[in-house]
Amino acid sequence: MENAATRQGGMAMTGETMVPANGVDLCVETFGEPSDPPVLLIGGGASSMDWWDDEFCRRLAGGGRYVIRYDHRDTGRSTAFPPGAPPYSQVDLADDALGLLDALGERQAHLVGMSLGGWLAQRIAVDHPSRPLSLTLISTTPAPAGGGPDPGDQPDPFDWSDRRAAVDRLITESRQLGGPFTADEPQLRRLAERVFDRSTDLNASVTNHWLAPAGPPIRERLGAVTVPTVVMHGTVDSMFGMDQAEALVREIPGARLVKLEGVGHEFPPPAVWNQVIGEILKHTA
C-alpha cells in the first residue's frame, strides 16, 4: 500500500512501499511511530526482509522504537539484476541502507545487522561515522578484508525457479544453519513460501550478493568506531564461531558480547526474542 505523506523531507508509509534509493528501488516496511528513535534492521546476505519476523518487529516497535525493515537489492520486491552478474559491490549495499534512511528523512538511526548485514553496519560506522546512533551486530564477523565474497557462502547451480524445490531447499538450509530453537517445519514452510512469492528473482537473490566484491578493506579501521556496540552471537553458530564475536568485541572499542544460548546462524528465533529485544531496547535507549 503506497502512502505519499511526507515527514522531515522524507516519506511516511503504511505497509510495504517502494522507495528510490541509491539508484535502485527498495521495498521497505515500517512499524511504530516515526517520532520514536529509528532502528534499521539490515538483513543477511540473500535475505529479504521477511526473515525479520513480523511479530519480532511489532514487539520491538512496542518498546517505543520506529522499526524499519527492507529488502536488499536482489531480494524480495527490490530491484533485481541478472543472476551471476551483479553490477555492484557490498559498498553499494551499505549505501542502499543510507539512501533508504535519506528517503525516510532519517539522518541517523540505530543499526541492527544480521550476518552480512553486520558487515554492512560496520562499513557504515567506519565510512559514515555520523550516521549510526549505535550498532547491534548479530551472528556476524569482523568485516572481511576485501577483494571478494566470503568463501563460506558460494552460490551453486540449483534451479530456484521451481517453487516447491526452492521452498524445500530454504527449509533444509534453515535447519542446517539453525539450532534447537529453530522454527518447526510448518512455520519454516510458511516463511519460505512467503520469501519465494515476494521475490522478483530468487535465483538472483541467492547468487548475486556472494559475487559482489566486498570493497575496500575496513577491518583495520574498526578501532575508530565510536558508537555504542553490542555483539549478539549464537553459541551453536556453525558459520561463524564464537571466536568471531570475541574478535569483534576486541576490535571495536567498548563493544560488549551477549551470548544467545542454543542459537545457530539464524535470525533470532522466538525462544530468545525476550532477550534480544530487551537488549536492543536497552542498547538504543
For residue 92, count other CB atoms closer than 10 A to its CB: 18
**What's the number of CA atoms in the CB half-sphere (13 Å) around residue 151?**
1
Q: What is the mean pLDDT of each run of 10 residues along the chain (285 residues)?
A: 36 79 98 97 97 98 98 98 94 98 98 97 98 98 60 65 97 97 97 98 94 93 97 97 97 98 98 98 97
Who's near 159: CB < 8 A, 6+ residues apart? Answer: 165, 166, 203
Catalytic residue among 78, 115, 139, 205: 115
Residue among 237, 229, 127 nearest 179 (CA): 237
**pLDDT given at position 159:** 87
Catalytic residue among 50, 53, 96, 237: 237
Q: What is the pTM of this model?
A: 0.93
Contact call for residues 232 and 133 (beta carbons, < 8 A)? no
Sheet holding 38-42, edge to edge: 17-21, 24-31, 66-70, 38-42, 109-114, 132-138, 229-234, 256-260
115 has catalytic annotation: yes
The bridge status of strand 24-31 relative to strand 38-42 is unpaired
Domain ranges across the chain: 17-283
237 has catalytic annotation: yes
CATH homologous superfamily for the domain 17-283: Alpha/Beta hydrolase fold, catalytic domain (3.40.50.1820)
Catalytic residue among 72, 209, 233, 265: 265
**pLDDT given at position 155:** 52
